[in-house]
C-alpha cells in the first residue's frame, strides 16, 4: 500500500496510520467517507468536513492555480451575503488558493460607518475547521493610509467557532473626505499562512463640517469719477470633508448695479478654498456729490443662500474752477563764482486753469544793482500746463576774496493781476591765487649718506586757481647750516598748471661715526602770503679710528715680536737672522748669567706678550692690547734695571731690539685707545 499523505500538513505517514506523526491530525476521514459511499477510487483523499456545516472542502486538483476572483470555492459555508469569498478588491488577494483547513468566516456587519470621533465596529464569526488549536490574524488588504484596524487575539479550539469584534479607527492627521470604500479583510492562520479566508466589508465616511464661508475682498470699495469696479469672492471649505456647490447672484436695493461673475456656479472641494472674480457697473452720482450703496452677493446651495455684503462709495468731482497762475524761479538760489551773469528758468503754472492767460515778465531787485532780460518776455500760459521762459540776470562781481547776495523778484502780470516768484543771486570772487595753491617738495626725504650735497624739486600747484601765481622761492634749515640755491628762484604758474623749481643744497656732515638729520624749510611767497614745504635731510659720517687703531695694534705687535727676536741685544748690532731655528739656537747658546737666566726667557715672554697684543685686534674695546703693551714696557724697563744693578752685567741693551719693543708697545697702546674711541 502507498504511504498516506496528511490532509492538514501534507506529511507522509504509514498506510495504516490513523494519526499524523507531524501535526497529530486524524487521518481516518477517507475510510469513513468510503464507508458512507464516497468515491475513493480516484486516488484523491477527501478532506475532513468543516466544523460549522455539512459541506466538505475538496483538496485542490493538481494543475494551474485558480484565479483570485472566485475560481475556487471558499471552504465551509459562506454564511450570509458577506461570506468568505473574495469581494470587490480584485487583484489584491493572494494568488495562491486557500489551503485545506482554512477558517470559515462569516461577516455580521458588512457595512459600517467610521468618523473621526467614533470607530466602526465590525463583527465576524470565525470557525476553526482543523483538529488542532489555532490562532488567527486579521489584516486589511491594501490598507488605506488613513485607517487603522484594531483586532483582538483570536485562538480557537479544534472545530470551535467564536464571534470577534474588530474596530476600524480613523488615524489623526489630514482631513479624510466623505466616501464609500470597499475593504477586504484577510483572516490568516497563525500555524499555516496558507490557510486563510478573505471577506469584504463596505466602509462609509460620512460628510461633516460647516457650510462654506463666503467673504468679499475688499469689503468697501470707493470709486472716484468712475462707474466700474471689481471685487473677489472667497469661498472657504477647509473645515468640511465634502465638496459644496453654490450658485452665485448679486443685487442692490436700487437694482441699478450690473454684476458679472467669472463663474456663475462654483464647486469648492473639501478642505480647500476657491475664488471668483466679480466685475460690476454702477451709475455715477451727479458732479460734486457722493452716494453710498450696499451690494449683496448670495451664494446658494441646497440649504439656502449665504450672503456677503460690500459697501460701495461713489463720488464725482465738482465742476472745474479756474485757479490763479503761480510763478516759480528755478533755481531759486543762483550762485556765481568769478562771473557776473547767470541764466535761470521761469515756470508759469496754469494747471489749475481752463483757459490760456497772456502774461508779461519783468524783474525787480530792491538794491537796483541787477539787470534782467527774458525770452520770451510776453507769452500765453496754456491751460492745464506749466509754461517755461528763460531769464538772464547780470551784476557786478564783488572784490576778490569776498561775497555778495542780491535778492530779486520775477513778476508775471496779466494786465490786472501780478504774480511774483522770489529768488536770490549769490556772487563770490576767488581769493588770491596763492590761497588755493599748494607747495610740495619731491621727494620729502633725502638720504645723502656720506655726501654733503643733494638735489630735489619744488612743485607749485596752481590747478585750483583761476589767476596766475607769481612766487619767489627761498629756503632755510633749522640750524642755518644748509645752503640752498633755486633754479629758477622766481616761478610764474598759470591757472590750472603746476610750476617747478630745482633746488641744489649743501649740508655739512655730522661728527664721525654719527648720523644727523636736518630739515630744510622751503617758502614760496607772493609778497603777501607764503606757502611752506619741508625736506628732511639724513646724513651719516663713518668713524675710521677703530680701523686705524687695529692697524696700529698689528704694527705695534709686529714691532714687539721683531724687537724681541733681534740678535744680539748687546755688544754690537749685527744683521738679525730671520730664521726662527737660528734665533732659538743663538738664544740657547748665550753665555753667562745674562743669557742663561734672564735674556732667553725674557725674549720668549716678550714674544708671547706681542702675540697677546695682536690678539687684542679681535676685541671691541682694545683692553687686552693696552694691558699687554703696558706689560711689555714694564718688562723691558725691568730688564734695564736688572742690568744696571747686577754686577758684571754688560749694559748693552740699548741697541736696536729694545727700542723697537718700546716703540711697538707705544704704537699698540695707541691703537687700543683708538679702537675704544668709537664715538
Listing DSSP states for 165-203 in one string gives EEEEEEPSSSPPPPEEEEEEEEEEESS-TT-EEEEEEEE
CA angle 334-335-336, nearest 5°? 125
Q: Position of cell 695707541?
A: 670
What is the band of 451 on the pLDDT scale with cuts at 50, 70, 90?
confident
In CATH terms, 326-429 corresponds, of 3.40.630.30, 2.40.50.140, 2.60.40.2310, 3.30.1490.20, to: 2.60.40.2310
Tens-place pLDDT, residues 431-447? 777 878 889 988 888 88
Tell me what the mean pLDDT of segment 106-122 comes to.
Answer: 93
Range in 139-153, 295-309, 476-490, 629-643 the model is least confident about: 629-643
Give the whole-angstrom CA distance, residue 636 versus residue 640: 7
Give the whole-angstrom CA distance, residue 330 versus residue 423: 8
Decide: residue 639, CB within 10 A, 0-12 exposed, 13-18 middle, 19+ buried: buried
pLDDT of residue 4: 75
Give the whole-angstrom CA distance, residue 299 versus residue 648: 159
CA angle 629-630-634, nearest 5°? 120
Q: Is the pLDDT of residue 592 over 60?
A: no
What is the band of 89 on the pLDDT scale with cuts at 50, 70, 90?
very low
Q: Is 16 in contact with 43 (CB distance < 8 Å)?
A: no
Please give the mean pLDDT across all residues of the chain: 80
Residue 145, classed as helix, strand or coil, is: coil
pLDDT of residue 311: 94
Give the whole-angstrom CA distance, residue 346 versus residue 236: 60
Beta strands 333-337 and 418-428, pairing class: parallel
What is the band of 59 on the pLDDT scale with cuts at 50, 70, 90?
very low
Range in 68-77, 113-122, 454-463 the model is least confident about: 68-77
pLDDT of residue 164: 94
Tens-place pLDDT, residues 154-178? 999 999 999 999 999 999 988 899 9
pLDDT of residue 14: 80
pLDDT of residue 251: 93
Q: Is the pLDDT of residue 585 over 70?
A: no
Q: Position of cell 612743485?
A: 459
Query: Which of the pair, 569 or 362, is modelled with greater confidence?
Result: 362
What is the band of 397 on the pLDDT scale with cuts at 50, 70, 90?
confident
Instruction: Tell me which residue of 387, 393, 382 sits closest to 341, measured CA to CA.
Output: 393
Instruction: Tell me which residue of 109, 130, 105 sits closest to 8, measured CA to CA.
Output: 130
Instruction: Tell me which residue of 151, 169, 165, 183 sits closest to 122, measured CA to CA.
Output: 165
Tens-place pLDDT, residues 1-37? 567 777 667 778 887 776 777 776 666 544 443 433 3
- Count helices and strands in the chain by DSSP H and E runs: 8, 38
pLDDT of residue 408: 94
Tell me what the mean pLDDT of segment 389-408 comes to.
Answer: 88
CA angle 267-268-269, nearest 5°? 115
Beta strands 290-301 and 326-330, pairing class: unpaired
Instruction: Tell me which residue of 320, 254, 258 sits closest to 291, measured CA to CA.
Output: 254
Q: Is the pLDDT of residue 312 over 60?
A: yes
User: What is the pTM for the complete model shown?
Assistant: 0.38
Q: Is the pLDDT of residue 275 over 50?
A: yes
C-alpha cell recorded at residue 452? 654733503
Tens-place pLDDT, residues 198-222? 999 999 999 998 999 999 999 999 9
- Describe the strand order of the beta sheet including 228-236 as a list of residue ranges: 213-217, 228-236, 273-281, 258-261
| CA dist list (Å): 424 to 365, 406, 421 | 9, 6, 10
Q: Residue 92: phi, psi to the nearest 5?
A: -100, -15
Q: Is the pLDDT of residue 42 over 50?
A: no
pLDDT of residue 355: 84
Give the whole-angstrom CA distance, residue 47 versus residue 44: 9
Q: Is 550 in contact with 676 (CB distance < 8 Å)?
A: no
**Which own/partner pairs from 588-594 qualify as long-range (CB within 8 Å, at least 24 positions apart)?**
593/646, 593/648, 593/649, 594/570, 594/643, 594/649, 594/650
pLDDT of residue 283: 93
E-strand ranges in 225-356 read 228-236, 244-251, 258-261, 265-268, 273-281, 290-301, 304-315, 326-330, 333-337, 341-349
Phi/psi-derived region of residue 666, left when phi > 0, alpha when psi is between -120 and 50, beta in every other case: alpha
pLDDT of residue 86: 37
Tell me what the mean pLDDT of segment 245-251 comes to.
Answer: 94
Tell me what the mean pLDDT of segment 65-80 comes to.
Answer: 36
The DSSP annotation for 534-574 comes to EEEEEEE----HHHHHHHHHHHHHHHHHHHHH-S-SSS---
C-alpha cell recorded at residue 350? 496754469
Tell me what the mean pLDDT of segment 581-585 comes to.
Answer: 56
Q: Position of cell 697684543?
A: 613
Give the whole-angstrom CA distance, residue 614 versus residue 628: 9
Give the whole-angstrom CA distance, residue 148 versus residue 162: 23
Q: Residue 307: phi, psi to the nearest 5?
A: -100, 145
R_g (Cα) of the chain, nearest Å: 66
Inter-axis angle of helices 545-565 and 600-615, nearest 10: 160
Tens-place pLDDT, residues 655-677? 567 788 888 888 888 887 777 76
Q: Is the pLDDT of residue 584 over 80?
A: no
pLDDT of residue 28: 57
Peptide bond into 5 cis (omega under 30): no
CA angle 499-502-504, nearest 5°? 160
Report the share of the chain in percent with pLDDT over 90.
41
Q: Is 147 in contact with 168 (CB distance < 8 Å)?
A: yes
For the domain made up of 433-541, the CATH class stated in words is mainly beta
Instruction: Tell me which residue of 45, 46, 40 sits closest to 4, measured CA to CA.
Output: 45
pLDDT of residue 548: 76
Query: In CATH, what number does 104-205 get?
Result: 2.60.40.10
Query: In CATH, what number does 213-316 get?
Result: 2.60.40.2310
Q: Is the pLDDT of residue 265 over 90?
A: yes
List 147's β-bridge partners, or say none: 170
Range in 15-19, 508-512, 568-572 the model is least confident about: 568-572
Give the whole-angstrom CA distance, residue 542 versus residue 549: 14
List for the chain the helix, strand, coil content (%; round to 5). Answer: 15, 40, 45
Q: Is the pLDDT of residue 41 over 60?
A: no
Q: Residue 610: phi, psi to the nearest 5?
A: -65, -40
78 CB contacts (<8 Å, ≥6 apart)? Answer: 84, 85, 106
pLDDT of residue 180: 94
Q: Residue 594: phi, psi to the nearest 5?
A: -60, -45
Give the whole-angstrom CA distance, residue 257 versus residue 281: 6
Q: Is 199 in contact with 105 (CB distance < 8 Å)?
A: yes
Q: Is 450 in contact with 420 (CB distance < 8 Å)?
A: no
Amino acid at each position: 500500500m502507498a504511504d498516506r499523505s496528511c490532509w492538514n500538513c501534507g506529511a507522509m505517514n504509514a498506510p495504516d496510520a490513523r494519526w499524523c506523526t507531524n501535526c497529530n491530525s486524524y487521518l481516518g476521514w477517507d475510510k469513513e467517507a468510503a464507508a458512507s459511499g464516497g468515491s475513493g477510487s480516484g486516488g484523491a483523499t477527501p478532506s475532513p468536513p468543516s466544523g460549522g456545516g455539512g459541506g466538505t472542502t475538496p483538496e485542490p486538483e493538481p494543475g494551474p492555480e485558480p484565479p483570485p476572483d472566485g475560481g475556487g470555492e471558499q471552504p465551509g459555508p459562506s454564511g450570509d451575503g458577506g461570506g468568505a469569498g473574495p469581494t470587490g478588491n480584485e487583484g489584491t488577494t493572494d494568488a495562491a488558493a486557500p489551503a485545506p483547513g482554512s477558517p470559515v468566516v462569516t461577516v455580521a456587519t458588512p457595512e459600517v460607518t467610521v468618523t473621526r470621533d467614533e470607530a466602526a465596529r465590525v463583527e465576524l464569526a470565525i470557525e476553526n475547521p482543523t483538529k488542532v488549536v489555532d490562532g488567527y490574524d486579521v489584516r486589511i488588504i491594501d490598507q488605506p493610509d488613513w485607517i487603522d484596524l484594531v483586532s483582538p487575539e483570536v485562538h480557537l479550539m479544534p472545530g470551535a467557532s467564536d464571534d470577534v469584534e474588530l474596530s476600524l479607527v480613523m488615524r489623526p492627521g489630514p482631513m479624510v473626505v466623505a466616501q464609500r470604500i470597499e475593504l477586504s479583510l484577510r483572516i490568516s492562520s497563525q500555524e499555516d499562512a496558507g490557510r486563510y479566508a478573505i471577506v469584504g466589508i463596505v466602509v462609509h465616511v460620512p460628510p461633516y463640517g460647516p457650510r462654506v464661508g463666503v467673504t468679499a475682498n475688499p469689503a468697501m470699495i470707493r470709486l472716484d469719477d468712475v462707474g466700474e469696479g471689481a471685487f473677489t469672492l472667497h469661498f472657504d471649505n477647509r473645515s468640511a470633508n465634502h465638496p459644496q456647490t453654490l450658485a452665485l447672484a448679486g443685487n442692490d436695493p436700487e437694482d441699478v448695479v450690473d454684476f458679472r461673475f467669472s463663474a456663475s456656479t462654483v464647486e469648492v472641494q473639501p478642505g480647500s478654498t476657491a475664488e471668483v472674480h466679480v466685475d460690476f457697473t454702477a451709475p455715477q452720482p451727479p458732479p460734486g456729490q457722493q452716494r453710498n450703496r450696499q451690494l449683496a452677493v448670495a451664494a446658494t446651495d441646497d440649504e439656502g443662500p449665504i450672503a456677503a455684503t460690500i459697501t460701495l462709495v461713489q463720488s464725482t468731482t465738482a465742476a472745474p474752477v479756474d485757479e490763479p497762475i503761480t510763478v516759480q524761479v528755478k533755481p531759486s538760489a543762483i550762485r556765481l563764482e568769478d562771473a557776473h551773469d547767470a541764466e535761470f528758468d521761469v515756470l508759469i503754472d496754469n494747471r489749475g486753469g481752463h483757459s490760456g492767460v497772456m502774461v508779461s515778465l519783468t524783474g525787480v531787485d530792491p538794491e537796483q544793482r541787477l539787470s534782467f532780460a527774458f525770452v520770451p518776455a510776453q507769452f500765453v500760459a496754456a491751460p492745464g500746463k506749466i509754461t517755461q521762459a528763460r531769464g538772464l540776470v547780470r551784476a557786478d562781481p564783488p572784490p576778490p576774496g569776498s561775497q555778495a547776495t542780491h535778492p530779486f523778484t520775477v513778476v508775471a502780470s496779466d494786465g490786472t493781476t501780478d504774480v511774483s516768484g522770489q529768488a536770490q543771486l549769490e556772487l563770490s570772487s576767488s581769493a588770491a591765487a596763492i590761497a588755493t595753491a599748494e607747495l610740495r617738495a619731491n621727494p620729502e626725504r633725502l638720504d645723502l649718506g656720506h655726501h654733503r650735497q643733494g638735489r630735489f624739486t619744488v612743485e607749485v600747484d596752481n590747478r585750483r586757481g583761476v589767476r596766475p601765481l607769481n612766487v619767489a622761492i627761498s629756503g632755510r634749515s633749522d640750524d642755518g647750516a644748509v645752503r640752498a640755491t633755486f633754479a629758477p628762484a622766481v616761478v610764474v604758474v598759470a591757472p590750472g598748471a603746476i610750476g617747478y623749481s630745482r633746488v641744489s643744497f649743501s649740508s655739512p656732515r655730522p661728527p664721525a661715526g654719527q648720523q644727523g638729520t636736518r630739515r630744510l624749510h622751503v617758502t614760496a611767497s607772493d609778497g603777501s602770503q607764503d606757502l611752506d614745504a619741508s625736506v628732511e635731510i639724513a646724513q651719516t659720517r663713518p668713524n675710521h679710528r677703530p680701523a686705524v687703531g687695529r692697524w696700529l695694534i698689528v704694527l705695534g705687535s709686529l714691532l714687539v715680536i721683531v724687537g724681541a727676536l733681534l740678535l744680539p741685544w748687546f755688544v754690537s748690532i749685527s744683521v738679525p737672522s730671520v730664521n726662527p731655528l737660528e734665533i732659538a739656537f743663538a738664544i740657547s747658546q748665550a753665555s753667562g748669567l745674562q743669557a742663561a737666566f734672564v735674556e732667553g726667557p725674557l725674549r720668549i715672554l716678550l714674544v708671547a706678550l706681542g702675540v697677546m697684543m695682536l690678539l687684542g685686534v679681535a676685541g671691541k674695546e682694545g683692553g687686552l692690547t693696552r694691558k699687554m703693551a703696558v706689560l711689555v714696557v714694564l718688562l723691558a724697563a725691568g730688564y734695564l734695571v736688572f742690568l744696571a744693578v747686577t754686577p758684571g752685567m754688560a749694559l748693552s741693551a740699548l741697541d736696536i731690539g729694545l727700542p723697537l719693543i718700546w716703540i711697538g708697545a707705544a704704537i699698540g697702546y695707541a691703537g687700543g685707545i683708538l679702537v675704544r674711541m668709537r664715538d
